[in-house]
Amino acid sequence: MRQLAATLPRRLRALGGEGESRLLPEARLSGPMPWVIAIMIALTVVAAASALALRHAAAAASADLEGGVTVQIVSAAPAERQRQSQTALDVLRRAPGVLHAEAVPQDQLNALVEPWLGTRTGDDLDALPIPALIDVRLRAAATPAALDALRTALARQAPAAHVDAQSSWLAPVFRAIGALQWAAGGLIALFAFATASAVLLAARNALGIHRETIEVVHMLGATDLQIARVFQRSMATDAAMGGLVGLLAGVVTTLGLGRQFSALGSGMVAQGSLAWTDWMVLVAIPIAGVLLVMVTARLTVLAALRRML
């Protein structure tokens, strides 16, 4: 009975798969390593969430604008502008390939210019030579050929008409979004590099601290792989704990940022919300982090052990 009591804690540990894993002290959150990994994972999660949201916003805007065409009737004379606008509308509605064509109401045009011109009592915005706008939706993408066909169709009956693809206005925005996505990808690569470097230093430090133990275990016949596995497991535990904390911090930050951007009320930003597959990608980040830590620790320890007899 006395022996059973003495050996019980050990038997319970054996059930937990201990053995060679106990060659080194168990990982604890008190060390800096889990927190370094937590910070790296949190930053990676936020960067990845931003990249994914930007991708969605760009894709949604691009899909919306793909078949969109704007026809402006630029004429200083209101009557002529009104005439050509009506004529252009009739031509466009009959044109092949046009799904939908509608004149933008004057009050909407006034609202568009209001931020620049103001609304003082007595101002008559209708008197201003603001171009008439027709919003056209094509059945297919607004290719240069499709735009040329519309221009030809309008040339005789509405010579003041200017035909533009809506997507061309947002091309600089798309380029900026693309650059931001690349920047996010670069940041993620940097975070991965920084994490690997931190693990390399931590593994070397741990090797130094436990050198005596490693030498003894070597003398008892342990292979390099056995010792590397112990380090790998220990650091993976650190990484898993740090990864979990980092994931939580990253998700909370992402949700907070998402709420702030939603409050902006911009259609493009609202379309940048994350799908469930994106959340799966974010959840996979700490898992990838743990794998990165394990591989780095293993290679570092094996390289160091090869220098010992």
Partner 1 sequence: MALANPKGTVLPSMNQPAAEIVQFDNVGLRYGAGREVLADVSFTLYPGCFYFLTGASGAGKTSLLKLLYLAQRPSRGLIRMFGTDAITLPRERLPGFRRRIGVVFQDFRLVPHLSAWDNVALPLRVAGQAEQDIAKPVSDMLEWVGLGDRFDARPATLSGGEQQRVAIARAVIARPDVLVADEPTGNVDPDMAIKLLRLFESLNRLGTTVVVATHDLHLIRKVPDSLIMRLDKGKLADPTGALRYPPRRQRQDGATALDAADLP
Residue ranges in contact with partner 1 by CB under 8 A: 3, 6-7, 9-11, 14, 18-20, 22-25, 212-213, 215-224, 226, 306, 309
| Pairwise CA distance, residues 83 & 89, whole Å | 10
Which residue, 3 or 121, is less far from partner 1 as judged by CB? 3
Shortest spacing between CB 211 and partner 1, in angstroms: 12
Shortest spacing between CB 290 and partner 1, in angstroms: 24
Which residue, 7 or 157, is less far from partner 1 as judged by CB? 7
Shortest spacing between CB 223 and partner 1, in angstroms: 5
Shortest spacing between CB 17 and partner 1, in angstroms: 9
Shortest spacing between CB 303 and partner 1, in angstroms: 13
Which residue, 24 or 88, is less far from partner 1 as judged by CB? 24
3-state secondary structure the chain: CHHHHHHHHHHHHHHCCCCHHHHCCCCCCCCHHHHHHHHHHHHHHHHHHHHHHHHHHHHHHHHHHCCEEEEEECCCCHHHHHHHHHHHHHHHHHCCCEEEEEECCHHHHHHHHHHHHCCCCCCCHHHCCCCEEEEEEECCCCCHHHHHHHHHHHHCCCCCEEEEEHHHHCHHHHHHHHHHHHHHHHHHHHHHHHHHHHHHHHHHHHHHHCHHHHHHHHHCCCCHHHHHHHHHHHHHHHHHHHHHHHHHHHHHHHHHHHHHHHCCCCHHHHCCCCCHHHHHHHHHHHHHHHHHHHHHHHHHHHHHHCCCC
Shortest spacing between CB 26 and partner 1, in angstroms: 9
Which residue, 13 or 100, is less far from partner 1 as judged by CB? 13
Shortest spacing between CB 173 and partner 1, in angstroms: 59
Which residue, 152 or 223, is less far from partner 1 as judged by CB? 223
Which residue, 280 or 309, is less far from partner 1 as judged by CB? 309
Which residue, 145 or 219, is less far from partner 1 as judged by CB? 219
